[in-house]
Amino acid sequence: MAMTAILLVCAGHFADLPAQSPSDLPFPLIRRFENFGIKDGLPTHKVHCVLPASDGKLWVGTWKGLVIREDGKFRRIGIEDGLSHPMVVCMVEDPGTGDLWIGTMRGLNRFSAGRMTVLTQTSCGLPNNVIYGLEIMSNTLWVATAAGLGAMDLKTGAWSIYDHNNTVMHEPWVYSVTAAKDRLFVGVWGGGILEYELSKQIFKEHRDPDRDFHFDLVPDDGPVNDVTSWVAWSDGILWQGTYFGMSRYDGLRWRTWQEKKSPLPSNFINFIFARGRVAWIGTDRGVSVTDGDTWANYHTDAKGATIVEISRPHQPVETRSLPTHLPNDFVLGLWANESEAWFATSDGLGHGFLGPAETLPASASVNKY
Amino acid sequence: MKATRLITWTSLAGIFVLLGHHFGGQAHIRRKLGQKPLAETTCLNCHFVSVKSLPWAQPRPHHDSPAGLAVSPDGTRIWIALDDQDQVAEADVKAMRVIRRAKVPGAPYGLALDPRGKQLFVACKSQDRVAVLDTTTLTEIDSIEVGMGPVALAFSATPKGARLLVANSMSDDISVLSVSPWRELSRPAAGREPFAVAASCDGTRAFVANRLVGLASVKSVPESELTQIDATTCRVTSRDALASAHLSESVCSVPSRSWVLTPLVKVRNMVPITQVANGWVMSSGFAVADRPSGRIVQLPLDEANDYFSDPSGVAADPSGHFAFVASGGSDVISVIDLARVSNWLARATQAQRDDAIYDLSLSPEYVVKRVRTGRNPRQLALTPDGSKLFVSERLDDSVLVIDTGTLNPAGRIRLGDGGRDDPIRLGERVFTSSAYTFQHQFSCRSCHPDGHVDGLSYDFDGDGIGDNLLDNRSLQGVAGTGPFKWNGKNPSLEIQCGVRFAKVLMRTEPFPAKELRDLTAFIKSLPPPRVNRTNRDHLSPSEERGRAIFFATRTPDGREIPVSSRCVTCHAPPLYTVRLPFKVGTKGQFDTTEAFDTPHLLGVADTAPYLHDGRAQSLEEIWTLYSTNDAHGVTSYMNKIQLNDLVAFLKTL
């Protein structure tokens, strides 16, 4: 009896200890969150995208307008300020000029030194007003729209359009575009991934070899699915998010993941932010961070607390509780560096602090707004 | 008897030939246009039209018209850009004469010196480049490509190295260059037609004056932009609106004050032009922008019954005591006491500041002198010690030197003969002079800067107040494209600029006959706007596809496009107009006609906005918003790529 008690205590003690130190992970962990909602000045709970700019300001795209956070305060920029539509879907900063390009559900906007300029499909060569993704590369603004990929020369303002009429694109509904060193990768809804080599001006298609809508019949043979919701590239690695799993491509080899068969928490991927060789993944069930081998999945458990499940190769999953939590598990947008991460979710804006653990008073463990 | 019969038969034959010619000719015209013409039509509408025979395509005299100025650090030398001669002249200030000239291809227009005076930077307007001249040898030692139509530059010393900022007037952006190494760092967007740039006294910021208003709805209050750039980061830090104002052609930073000054024209294009008195068409002034606060006050230059039109150059002396503004239409330099301006601003309420520009009794508060100049004073420059002010007298081919101590002219640097025997030059003098309008309020140039557009729509009262809002069309390339007026009722420029113009706008006597001849000679000499194809001699694939669409007689699926709806029917080359009015479905609520004169399309890329009333802010909008029933050409079959191709082709014309 006593021996049983001793063993139980030891087991409980060891259960509290991490299997290994978090310093063995290839990426930092989120130690705590602070969250922002309507009470903090956001115009709505629904946040689509987030972008820290090079001048230190934070830009937030929401269902009800563009928001800028400076000096700790949120300020809304809406259609009354010249924004073409309140639903802000994506943003990109021009590294040369600092101008912010904003994609909405009705038109493209350039915000420069306080002035908004609107470009629409009726006023210029933009292929379509419904804009899902933006990228800047080689003095060109690349725009992923519901009717093709648009490319605007930032010096001349001249537009080119790439769609199913003049490329191998399967259909024109383009969800995202990401720049690699000398090429672009384009996520096409129902069309897999297009790879565009700038110097040769040729497109190449990457399609799911299985052609099966729901299952990854043969893993690691190509894109996991043709319904591409997002693409992101960094340090030689292309990440593909779909509604049916995730893929990774290093230029030679593909790897695929689906839920239940891998640490990927959900097949439904909204967004991927890639930094170095690590991907931050926004799903409908929280946030995942991975380099393809090691995973850290953040989501809310049944009791309402955010936990992180750390999956290391060939090791049991380690679960840790966080004193604070994500605003919502439906994550639509992300941004991260070595010390912090921002999360655009269906129910508020989340700010994650990365690095060493901090001890917080118990009352701070619940962060509701 | 025989003779009578012969005469009768010959007459009858002649009548039959004439009737056959008339009716046969009319049938030919109807077949070619696909409809009955709405105006008198002759063979010459479509045939025997040659660009080579037009006045602007003929050789013409070139003049030593001074543009930009730059003074050496020791004040002993002045360099003068001579864009019409592809030269830069160097003059001795003391001797007041030119001592040497350098050939600089590309219409040198703006000048800037490095602080040591060793390198002269030249904005070459027609070659889209900045040339670097060694001032010792006055030879070109380097060159760099910038945006389109560079007209002004400013040298700026920043903590991260020397910068050169270039206003690119035709690409609406600013090239920020690193001087060492020599390369373009950034090209941020400016307002519309950036025309001047000045560095702050500490070199960390630059200010850009933009000449035209931004494109907006026809009935919105126009506003132009004063752009501020951080020269270190190459980022635009503010875009200040100059409400209901435009034609800012220069800018200066005031030493010892936190001010930026830019001249402006206060335009009242939304008010029907029912009267000219009291500045009801336009008045001239200058903006005082206070940089820390960002507040801008517009102050008048004009007086109640005397106007100082087309304010162009501005300069402030090193002590920040005086500012000088050149009025190109009135041949005057206004001397402004900035201390008095400061005192007035300190006393004024916000309401007084807001209304100041409308108070034509205010300028005597701070304008201490008006110095008469030669014709069309434009750019200004001061010696570093502020003792001398140099004034480009553009249409006299000279540079006036004013002693700023006495505020009197001290002499002139003669560059040329003024072009006194050249009708085109004489006509340009008429064009730029406000002497012919009521109380000298404006000149032709006031609405047509450099003979081009000002981007605004106007309401002339001659056809009814509020009726027929009209887009201001470019005069560049109009030779041979008559008739004129939006409805094509004026058969020639002589009629257009004659009695009607005097009655409707000048409100004075018409131009005298000789001046009218010279004026029209000048207008006809203006070539079409330059297009952005200086480095290519062939069309791109997109432009080729667009060309095919423009000349198409069938849609891609084989359906015939009616003759009356083909682009080329109304816009036939080489002028891309057959010079007839047509109904294209663009009659607006307040238009009294539905048939509009067909404008030519040469240089159309640079003449926004479009359509007779300027409602289309871009070429795309002509069809995406204002021609949804194929009334203005058959375009409903086009996808977006095809429309983009058509627009790309139009922009090559």
DSSP string, A217-273: SSTTSS-S-SBEEEEEEETTEEEEEETTEEEEE-SS-EEEE-BTTBS-S-S-EEEEE
CA–CA dist A171, A69 (Å, integer): 38
Q: Tell me if A178 is assigned to some domain.
A: yes
| Cβ separation B644–A125 shorter than 8 A | yes
Beta-sheet strand order (sheet of B87-92): B69-71, B77-82, B87-92, B97-103
> Token match 């019409």: residue?
B84
| Cβ separation B641–A147 shorter than 8 A | no
How far B187 CA lies from chain A's nearest CA (Å)? Answer: 7
B153 pLDDT more than 80 = yes
* Interface with chain B: mutation pick from A57, A99, A101, A112, highest number of B CBs within 10 Å: A112
Higher pLDDT: A302 or B169? It is B169
Provide the number of CB pairs (under 8 Å) joining chain A to chain B.
Answer: 77
List, for residues A346-367, the tens digit of each pLDDT value: 999 999 999 854 433 333 333 3
| Cβ separation A124–B236 shorter than 8 A | no
Report percent pLDDT > 90 for chain B: 78
Which of A278, A249, A244 has its CA nearest to residue A264?
A244
CA–CA dist B472, B500 (Å, integer): 17
CA–CA dist B585, B600 (Å, integer): 18
Question: Could you give the ipTM of this predicted complex?
Answer: 0.93
Side chain identity, residue A264:
L
φ, ψ of residue B338 in degrees (nearest 5)? -70, -25
List, for residues B61-101, the tens digit of each pLDDT value: 999 999 999 999 999 999 999 999 999 999 999 999 999 99
Coil, strand or helix: which one is B543?
A: helix
How far B641 CA lies from chain A's nearest CA (Å)? Answer: 6
List, for residues B183-239, the tens digit of each pLDDT value: 999 999 999 999 999 999 888 999 999 999 999 888 888 999 999 999 999 999 999
pLDDT of residue A4: 52
Coil, strand or helix: which one is B523?
A: helix
B213 inside 8 A of chain A by CB: no
pLDDT of residue B532: 75
For chain A, the residue count is: 369
DSSP state of B578: -
Q: Tell me if A311 is assigned to some domain.
A: no
Cis ω before B574 (30° cut-off from 0)? yes
The tally of domains found in chain A comes to 1
Which of B167, B281, B267 has its CA nearest to residue B223?
B267
The closest CB to that of B239, out of A55, A115, A147, belongs to A115
Q: Tell me if A136 is assigned to some domain.
A: yes
Q: Tell me if A298 is assigned to some domain.
A: no
The closest CB to that of B189, out of A112, A123, A127, belongs to A112
Residue A126's domain spans which residues?
Answer: 25-286+329-365
A203-207, long-range: CB < 8 A, 24+ apart: A203/A162, A203/A167, A203/A168, A203/A169, A204/A168, A205/A168, A205/A169, A205/A170, A206/A249, A207/A170
The closest CB to that of A165, out of B186, B542, B641, belongs to B641
| Residues of chain A neighbouring B187 (CB-CB closer than 8 A) | 96-97, 154-155
pLDDT of residue B26: 83
pLDDT of residue A1: 56
Coil, strand or helix: which one is B503?
A: helix
How far A13 CA lies from chain B's nearest CA (Å)? Answer: 56
The closest CB to that of B640, out of A114, A123, A161, belongs to A161
Q: Tell me if A261 is assigned to some domain.
A: yes
| Cβ separation A98–B233 shorter than 8 A | yes
B430 pLDDT more than 80 = yes
Which of A211, A194, A281 has its CA nearest to residue A241?
A281
For A147, the closest chain B residue by CA position comes to: B640
Side chain identity, residue B106:
G
| Cβ separation A156–B171 shorter than 8 A | yes
B437 pLDDT more than 80 = yes
| Residues of chain B neighbouring A148 (CB-CB closer than 8 A) | 640
Q: Tell me if A123 is assigned to some domain.
A: yes
* Interface with chain A: mutation pick from B644, B647, B649, B651, highest number of A CBs within 10 Å: B644
Query: Chain A, 204-223: which have a CB under 8 Å from a chain B CB?
Result: none
For A98, the closest chain B residue by CA position comes to: B235
Encode burial over B107-131: b for 16+ CB neighbours within 10 A, e otherwise: bbbbbbbbeebebbbbbbbbbbbbb
The closest CB to that of A127, out of B621, B625, B640, belongs to B640
Q: Tell me if A11 is assigned to some domain.
A: no
Rounded to whole angstroms, what are the CA distances from B257 to B198, B227, B315, B324, B436? 15, 19, 14, 15, 38
Query: Chain A, 38-77: which have a CB under 8 Å from a chain B CB?
Result: 55
How far B53 CA lies from chain A's nearest CA (Å)? Answer: 32
A20 inside 8 A of chain B by CB: no
Rounded to whole angstroms, what are the CA distances from B435 to B41, B113, B376, B506? 38, 36, 12, 10
List, for residues B532-548, the tens digit of each pLDDT value: 764 567 899 999 999 99
B602 pLDDT more than 80 = yes
| Cβ separation B188–A112 shorter than 8 A | yes
B233 inside 8 A of chain A by CB: yes
For B185, the closest chain A residue by CA position comes to: A96
pLDDT of residue B312: 97
| Residues of chain B neighbouring A160 (CB-CB closer than 8 A) | 542, 644
B188 inside 8 A of chain A by CB: yes
What H or E segment, with its residue span, contains residue A286?
A: strand A286-290
* Interface with chain A: mutation pick from B215, B615, B640, B646, highest number of A CBs within 10 Å: B640
pLDDT tens by residue, chain A, 369 residues:
555 544 444 444 434 434 445 568 899 999 999 999 999 999 999 999 999 999 999 999 999 999 999 989 999 999 999 999 999 999 999 999 999 999 999 999 999 999 999 999 999 999 999 999 999 999 999 999 999 999 999 999 999 999 999 999 988 999 999 999 999 999 999 889 999 999 999 999 999 998 777 778 888 999 999 999 999 999 999 999 999 999 999 999 999 999 988 999 999 999 999 999 999 999 999 999 999 999 999 999 888 889 999 999 999 999 999 989 999 999 999 999 999 999 999 999 999 999 854 433 333 333 322
Domains of chain B as residue ranges with CATH: 29-58+530-650 (1.10.760)
The closest CB to that of A97, out of B228, B235, B239, belongs to B235
Q: What is the average pLDDT across B504-513?
A: 86
B194 inside 8 A of chain A by CB: no
DSSP state of B619: H
pTM: 0.92
Handedness of CA B638, B644, B648, B653 (dihedral sign): positive
Handedness of CA B233, B235, B238, B240 (dihedral sign): positive
For A165, the closest chain B residue by CA position comes to: B641
> What are residue A159's DSSP bridge partners?
A152
> What are residue A232's DSSP bridge partners?
A239
* Contact between residue B430 and residue B518 where contact means Cβ atoms under 8 Å apart: yes
CA–CA dist B172, B180 (Å, integer): 25
- CATH number of the domain residue A176 falls in: 2.130.10.10
pLDDT of residue B33: 87
> What are residue B616's DSSP bridge partners?
B610
What H or E segment, with its residue span, contains residue B353?
A: helix B350-355
Handedness of CA B574, B575, B579, B584 (dihedral sign): positive
| Cβ separation A97–B225 shorter than 8 A | no
| Cβ separation B235–A121 shorter than 8 A | no
Which of B286, B289, B280, B140 has its CA nearest to residue B227?
B289
| Cβ separation B647–A125 shorter than 8 A | yes
> Token match 């041979």: residue?
B480
DSSP string, B256-310: TSSEEEEEEEEE-TTS-BS--GGGTSEEEEEEEEETTT--EEEEE--BTTB---S
User: Average pLDDT, whole number, for chain B?
Assistant: 93
Which of A284, A278, A237, A239 has its CA nearest to residue A259?
A284
CA–CA dist B459, B437 (Å, integer): 18
* Contact between residue B208 and residue B174 where contact means Cβ atoms under 8 Å apart: yes
| Cβ separation A123–B617 shorter than 8 A | yes
Q: Tell me if A301 is assigned to some domain.
A: no
A99 inside 8 A of chain B by CB: yes
Coil, strand or helix: which one is B445?
A: helix
The closest CB to that of A121, out of B186, B187, B640, belongs to B640
Query: Chain A, 272-301: which have a CB under 8 Å from a chain B CB?
Result: none
Coil, strand or helix: which one is A314?
A: coil
The closest CB to that of B625, out of A122, A127, A161, belongs to A122
* Contact between residue B620 and residue B570 where contact means Cβ atoms under 8 Å apart: no
| Cβ separation A97–B532 shorter than 8 A | no
B304 pLDDT more than 50 = yes
A82 inside 8 A of chain B by CB: no
What H or E segment, with its residue span, contains residue B335?
A: strand B332-337
B587-590, long-range: CB < 8 A, 24+ apart: B588/B469, B588/B613, B588/B615, B590/B466, B590/B467, B590/B468, B590/B469
Count Cβ atoms within 10 A of the Cβ of residue B153 and give its class: 0-12 exposed, 13-18 middle, 19 or more buried: buried
B236 inside 8 A of chain A by CB: yes
DSSP state of B645: H
Strands (E), A97-215: 100-104, 107-112, 115-119, 131-137, 140-145, 148-153, 159-162, 174-179, 183-188, 192-197, 202-206
pLDDT of residue B537: 78
pLDDT of residue A2: 53
Coil, strand or helix: which one is A13?
A: helix
Beta-sheet strand order (sheet of B377-382): B377-382, B388-393, B398-403, B408-414
Handedness of CA B84, B87, B92, B98 (dihedral sign): negative
| Cβ separation B189–A99 shorter than 8 A | yes
List, for residues B467-485, the tens digit of each pLDDT value: 889 999 999 999 999 899 8
How far A111 CA lies from chain B's nearest CA (Å)? Answer: 11
| Cβ separation B621–A122 shorter than 8 A | yes
| Residues of chain A neighbouring B225 (CB-CB closer than 8 A) | 115
